[in-house]
């Protein structure tokens, strides 16, 4: 006997039995020493119909779930989850789980020598873009480190002014272009810039082409040279406000440092009186952080209170 199962559009077509012999009975083996019990075709067809009904009802439940499983497996194979957890969609409801991911995200990820595996390194301030090497190097090696170099103090004062209305990362990415465009921050040369030089700078796509900011830099070079004659330079001028010792902040990522303080207010006023431009209190506070008069590395950061030691 040959049994063929056909799955089609309706129950009768989905499960039909064809018998390859034109007989009226189907012999069924039983356990009574090899004898056979006959059952009629109509009885067998009733069993067939009962089986088809069961199959149909079961299919309605199982088949959709089966399709969902297959679809999920295909999606996983064809489009695996992003390897970079920073770009993976956040679908976690658990607060503790989210906090755990945030803790991981506060660490830099670096390649190590065992075939490309990764390991967390030092935790940093929350504002650092971990994917930008310039930003990492600036944070780790410059930001909050006491600076007494006149050229860098003058450079940073003008870069902070150029940042006004923009992000610091934008300026940092153009820093080398600024050094070339402004003669390595030679104040004497900058103070002599004329209209032709200003036009050249305005055409330079490597810097922020803002006429007011360029004019302020030229003006600041003149004011700086006068400051050098009177008090010796920015180093002596600035560090006198903190008696030569950097101020230590105790901020954390959830409670960042303020935008300005009474100290930045006072220094801003004094610089304005001396003819400097783009030296508002907020700009000056960021400047004091950058050149290390104030160490505001957050308590979670591995550089917290380390720069001034």
Question: DSSP character for 258?
Answer: P
Distance between CA atoms of 185 and 187, rounded to whole angstroms? 6
Contact present, 159 and 167 (Cβ < 8 Å): no
Question: How far from 64 is each of 12, 23, 79, CA to CA, in Å?
Answer: 21, 40, 22
Closest residue by Cα to residue 294 from 283, 282, 308 = 308
Q: How many CB atoms lie within 10 A of CB 31?
A: 6
Binding residues: 125, 139, 297, 301
Token reading at 243: 């008696």
Catalytic amino acids?
138, 160, 168
Token reading at 106: 């506060």
Closest residue by Cα to residue 283 from 255, 266, 248, 259 = 259
Contact present, 253 and 247 (Cβ < 8 Å): no
**SS3 annotation, 208-229:** CCCHHHHHHHHHHHHHHHHHHH
Closest residue by Cα to residue 249 from 186, 201, 300 = 300
Binding residues for Zn(2+): 125, 139, 297, 301
Q: 159 exposed, middle or buried (CB, 10 Å; 0-12, 13-18, 19+)? A: buried
DSSP E strands, 31-150: 36-40, 107-111, 118-123
């Amino acid at each position: 006997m040959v049994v063929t199962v056909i799955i089609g559009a309706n129950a009768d077509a989905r499960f039909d039995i064809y018998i390859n012999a034109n007989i009226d009975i189907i012999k069924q083996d039983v356990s009574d020493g090899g004898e056979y019990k006959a059952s009629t075709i109509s009885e067998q067809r009733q069993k067939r119909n009962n089986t088809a009904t069961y199959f149909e009802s079961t299919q309605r439940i199982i088949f959709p779930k089966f399709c969902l499983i297959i679809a999920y497996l295909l999606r996983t194979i064809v489009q695996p989850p992003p390897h970079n957890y920073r770009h993976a969609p956040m679908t976690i409801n658990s607060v503790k789980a989210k906090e755990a991911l945030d803790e991981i995200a506060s660490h830099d990820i670096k390649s190590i020598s065992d075939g490309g595996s990764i390991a967390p390194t030092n935790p940093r301030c929350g504002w650092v873009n971990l994917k930008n090497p310039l930003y990492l190097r600036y944070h780790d090696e410059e930001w909050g480190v006491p600076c007494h170099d006149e050229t860098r103090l003058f450079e940073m004062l003008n870069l902070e002014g150029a940042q006004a209305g923009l992000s610091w990362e934008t300026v940092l990415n153009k820093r080398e272009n600024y050094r070339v465009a402004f003669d390595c921050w030679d104040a004497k040369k900058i103070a002599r810039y004329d209209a032709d030089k200003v036009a050249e700078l305005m055409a330079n796509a490597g810097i922020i082409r803002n006429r007011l900011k360029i004019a302020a830099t030229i003006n600041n070079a003149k004011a700086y040279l006068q400051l050098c004659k009177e008090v010796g330079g920015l180093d002596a001028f600035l560090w006198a406000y903190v008696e030569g010792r950097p101020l230590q902040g105790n901020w954390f990522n959830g409670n960042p440092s303020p935008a300005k303080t009474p100290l930045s207010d006072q220094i801003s006023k004094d610089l304005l009186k001396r003819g400097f431009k783009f030296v508002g209190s907020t700009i000056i506070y960021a400047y004091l952080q950058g050149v290390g008069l104030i160490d505001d590395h957050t308590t979670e950061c591995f550089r917290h209170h380390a720069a001034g030691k």
